[in-house]
Amino acid sequence: MKTTARMFKALSDETRLRIICLLLDGELCVCDIMAVLQLPQSTVSRHLAYLKNAGWVDDRRAGVWMYYSILDNVKNLQNSLLDSLRENLPDLEVAAADRKRLCEFSQHNRCA
């Protein structure tokens, strides 16, 4: 039950929901997330660590950069929640603005 509570608690923060929404389209570098959310690296990294510890995201290192993605093998409950998030989050105004900013940032400036 504690694991389930931690999983839901991770989704109770607006910044973490925005990060999840961005990652629904695929892996992103921390610098991409920082640029879109307009938050410092320390804040973004703290939220990503929280999501990782709650079992929502996975990370990989490529040189000096850290990349994050939605965890592939999740439990049934998490999979159902991810389906719901995929269906509903992108329609929110903030999520649409984030995705637009990501597209603009990605075309002009990428990590590495």
Residue 26: what pLDDT? 92
Average pLDDT value over all residues in the chain: 89
**Looking at the predicted structure, is the pLDDT value of residue 10 above 70?**
yes
Task: Pick the closest to residue 68 from 101, 104, 24 (CA basis).
Answer: 24
Domains observed in the chain: 2-108 (1.10.10.10)
pLDDT at 88 over 60: yes
Given this model, what pLDDT does residue 108 score?
A: 56
DSSP-derived 3-state class of residue 2: helix
- The residues, any chain, with a CB within 8 Å of residue 42's CB and separated by 6 or more, are none
88-102: average pLDDT: 91
CA neighbor of 24 nearest in space, from 94, 95, 73, 76:
95
* Residues linked to residue 70 through DSSP beta bridges, in sequence order: 57
39-84 pLDDT, tens digit per residue, is: 999 999 999 999 999 999 999 999 988 999 999 877 788 889 999 9
**Is the pLDDT at 9 greater than 80, yes or no?**
yes
The model's pTM is 0.88
